[in-house]
Chain A
Amino acid sequence: MRVSLLLGSAAALAVLPAAAVPAAAGTSPSPRPVIGTAGTSFLTATTVEPGQPVRVPASTGDYLYWSFAAAAGQTGRIAVTVALPPAASRHGAATYAIDVFDGLRRRQACTAGPQNATAAAGTASVRLQCTLRQVRAWAEPWSDDPLPGTYYLRLAASGLPEQDLGLPIRADVRITAKNGTAQPAGAKLKAPLSPAVAPGATLAPGATPSSGPVNSAPKPAERVKGWFSWPSSRWWWTIGGGVLAAVLAVGGYHLTRHPRRWFSALR
């Protein structure tokens, strides 16, 4: 009886960590309207929600911008397919690249690619991918770690024959976000890294700017946390550890206090 109780508690504890780590889950599967536009600069970037499909007709040589919001703990993944103009009208190989920038227009690294690819003169399309670093909950002001806020995606031809400019292409973009546990634990950025998009104003020297609401690029919504991640998985580990300690303490006490019951039961 006692042994089965102990085994039960141990099994229950073993479940805890497995459940406490938020599972990798994609965004909701409900179909969303296709976005048919792209901006031409950081300021005019079209806002895309992760999971929303984008299909934009464009011209070779265009610089296409989209922006999306990422919250702490998320890992963004971008997949782009560029349908190239008919091979007959092209004059050589073209290199396409995706660049990702954070809300402060700082270049962000891709941990997996290919971020840029060269399409030979005959190929019909080129496929690009970029997996971003996991967004951190906090970082020192001097670092350029990825932080919650706006991210910009730029798709452009980084090299192509001059004669091929202006020909029709089509870009399909898919931005997805994978949730995870944000590092460092317990830290928080007070305001997401979403830059102002409204025109500014010059002030008299020495005047302090009024801190009114400023229009800004897309901000991530505060993440609603699942039951198992509330308030953080550390609670579950610690509580589980406490229970385990208590059970083992009682077991240990009984072992020294009445050793015969234990060893006779085994015999």
Chain B
Amino acid sequence: MIFKRSFAGGCLLVLLALAGAVPVAADDGGAAEPPKVELVLDVSGSMRARDIDGRSRMTVAQQSFDAVVDALPAETQLGIRVLGARYRFPGSSKALGCTDTQQISPVGPVDKARAKAAIATLRPTGWTPIGLALRAATRDLGAGETTRRIILITDGEDTCSPPDPCEVARQLASQGTHLIVDTLGLTLNDKVRQQLTCIADATGGTYTAVQHQNELTGRLNQLVQRAGTTYKRTPVKVAGTAGCADAPTLAPGVYTDRERFSEHRWYRVTVAPGQELRASVSVSLDRTLNLDHGVLLRAVSGAGQELVRGTDAGSGRTDVQSTGLRWSNQRPGASPSPDGGSGGTQVCLVVSNSFSAPASVRTAPGMPLELTVDLAPSSDAPGGPDLGRGWLLLLVLAGTGLVAGLVTGWLARWRVAIWKEN
């Protein structure tokens, strides 16, 4: 018995080891566009400062760029733009210095030798027109379906505002293509950090303070790699409306929109009988906001009846506030809704939020909103299990068996006794 038991246990372990749930990797597929990244490097006069590992900021940036160009994935298209490379600061007029940005390597398949040669000739020179450089970099990257990434490396605050580079970044992110700006600061200066974190938050990017050469190289490589692996997962732009009647009808997929404080955005989905609607929404906190916030997603029928809601609230520092819901269309053929088209029920999704901001913060453009819509076969409620389990079951079955045996045996004795008498 002991042998049997341990053998059974061994079998069980082997089977369980084999049976571990292995997730199926997601397949990206889709667009054939290559990943596009633009490095924007500040070549302003302050880059002369020798404070990173005893070398000048410029030298460190140049060496890191060389390493990134060497390690570039084959399909990634990398462009390089500089700002403040031509007119001296101080010494030239602000009007002239603040128009100073050029692309030294176009976004396209990279000629490594040429790109490195162009980087090597750069000398710290002029002003810091960050807003202008961001606008130009967005133009360089062009329009398209996939995510574009700008990597901004600077050591000084913008010397050319207005326009405030953070406002520029928010504007760029809200229009046209999907844009992310990652920022790297080559100094621990408070103003620089505030400006760069603002730009990063406004576009869903990251901020890194660089203090050593290897940190810069490692981070640049990480960002370029990230661009290469995730650029196809891009939401498509959609404009929600203020009511259900004229809301856009959505197919399964990921969407992006903008929503202002306390605004309601409506979308429509056609759910066929036997299908389940799965929707989720994330609202990004892309600016300075008040402490407490929340987001609400509701599914409403064409007649205005609420079907289901998802809600989440939070407090303090976070990047997105998100929630989701499921709704099954489980009444095949029953009461087709008046506005239902070809067999499906029209379900409206309403996204609302309870964000607020201090008076000084601009409310336009609205906060980025990401909506995923999916339709899956709906799952019926399970019936009760057909079989039993547990010690009570064994006791009941054993007791029933014993009573049945005793009664049968007693009956048999009684019959034999009667038969003998007769």
| Contact in complex: B270, A199 (CB < 8 Å) | no
Rounded to whole Å, the gap between the CB of B383 and the closest CB of chain A is: 7
Is A200 located at the chain interface by the 8 A CB criterion? Answer: yes
Is B27 located at the chain interface by the 8 A CB criterion? Answer: yes
Assess A167 versus B413: contact at CB under 8 Å? Given A105-B322, A196-B254, A200-B373: no
| Contact in complex: B253, A196 (CB < 8 Å) | yes
Interface hits, A29-59 → B, CB 8 Å:
37, 39-44, 47, 49-51, 57, 59
| Contact in complex: A197, B233 (CB < 8 Å) | yes
Cα A205 to Cα B381 in complex, Å, equals 31
Stretch of B57-65, B279-287, B358-366 lying at the A interface: B279-287
Inter-chain contacts of B272 with A (CB < 8 A): 208
Which residue in chain A gives the minimum CB-CB distance to B246? Answer: A205
| Contact in complex: A200, B207 (CB < 8 Å) | no
Cα A209 to Cα B270 in complex, Å, equals 7
Assess A200 versus B236: contact at CB under 8 Å? Given A74-B21, A190-B377, A214-B252: yes
Rounded to whole Å, the gap between the CB of A136 and the closest CB of chain B is: 11
Choose from A69, A158, A220, A240 the contact partner of B394 (Cβ within 8 Å): A240
Rounded to whole Å, the gap between the CB of B246 and the closest CB of chain A is: 9
Is B124 located at the chain interface by the 8 A CB criterion? Answer: no
Rounded to whole Å, the gap between the CB of B410 and the closest CB of chain A is: 5
Contact string against B for A residues 6-30, beta-carbon threshold 8 Å, 1 for contact and 0 otherwise: 0000011101011110110101100
| Contact in complex: B312, A107 (CB < 8 Å) | yes
| Contact in complex: A106, B310 (CB < 8 Å) | yes
| Contact in complex: B226, A37 (CB < 8 Å) | yes
Is B120 located at the chain interface by the 8 A CB criterion? Answer: no
Cα A42 to Cα B13 in complex, Å, equals 35
Choose from A186, A196, A221 the contact partner of B252 (Cβ within 8 Å): A196
Assess A251 versus B402: contact at CB under 8 Å? Given A22-B12, A211-B375: yes
Inter-chain contacts of A245 with B (CB < 8 A): 397-398, 400-402, 404
| Contact in complex: A206, B270 (CB < 8 Å) | yes
Choose from B211, B374, B390 the contact partner of A214 (Cβ within 8 Å): B374
Assess A257 versus B16: contact at CB under 8 Å? Given A104-B326, A190-B377, A196-B373: no
| Contact in complex: B388, A234 (CB < 8 Å) | yes
Interface size on B, residues (CB 8 A): 125
Inter-chain contacts of B27 with A (CB < 8 A): 215
Rounded to whole Å, the gap between the CB of B280 and the closest CB of chain A is: 4
Assess A193 versus B278: contact at CB under 8 Å? Given A61-B197, A69-B23, A227-B11: yes
| Contact in complex: B26, A252 (CB < 8 Å) | no
Is A121 located at the chain interface by the 8 A CB criterion? Answer: no
Is A241 located at the chain interface by the 8 A CB criterion? Answer: yes
Inter-chain contacts of B180 with A (CB < 8 A): 40
Overall SS of chain B's interface: mixed
Is B332 located at the chain interface by the 8 A CB criterion? Answer: no
| Contact in complex: B226, A59 (CB < 8 Å) | no
Assess A203 versus B249: contact at CB under 8 Å? Given A104-B280, A138-B379, A209-B375: yes
| Contact in complex: A219, B23 (CB < 8 Å) | yes
Is A4 located at the chain interface by the 8 A CB criterion? Answer: no
Contact string against A for B residues 372-401, beta-carbon threshold 8 Å, 1 for contact and 0 otherwise: 111111110111011111110110111111
| Contact in complex: A104, B388 (CB < 8 Å) | no
Cα A217 to Cα B412 in complex, Å, equals 68
| Contact in complex: B17, A25 (CB < 8 Å) | yes
Rounded to whole Å, the gap between the CB of A250 and the closest CB of chain B is: 6
Cα A216 to Cα B390 in complex, Å, equals 39
Choose from B21, B235, B405 the contact partner of A43 (Cβ within 8 Å): B235
| Contact in complex: B254, A166 (CB < 8 Å) | no
Choose from B1, B233, B318, B396 the contact partner of A44 (Cβ within 8 Å): B233
| Contact in complex: A15, B5 (CB < 8 Å) | yes
Cα A191 to Cα B310 in complex, Å, equals 20
Is B421 located at the chain interface by the 8 A CB criterion? Answer: no
| Contact in complex: A156, B318 (CB < 8 Å) | yes
| Contact in complex: B325, A234 (CB < 8 Å) | no
Inter-chain contacts of A201 with B (CB < 8 A): 236, 250-251, 253
Choose from B222, B328, B343, B399 the contact partner of A141 (Cβ within 8 Å): B328
Cα A57 to Cα B222 in complex, Å, equals 9
Choose from A25, A39, A138, A226 the contact partner of B382 (Cβ within 8 Å): A138
List 30 A-B residue pairs with CB atoms under 8 Å apart, sorted by A's residue number: A12-B1, A17-B391, A18-B5, A37-B226, A39-B226, A41-B370, A42-B282, A47-B25, A59-B208, A59-B209, A69-B23, A103-B324, A106-B280, A138-B381, A158-B316, A159-B317, A179-B19, A190-B377, A190-B378, A191-B377, A196-B254, A198-B30, A206-B249, A207-B249, A207-B270, A214-B253, A215-B26, A234-B387, A234-B388, A257-B413
Q: What are the nearest 4 A-B pairs in CB distance?
A: A200-B253, A252-B405, A206-B341, A104-B324
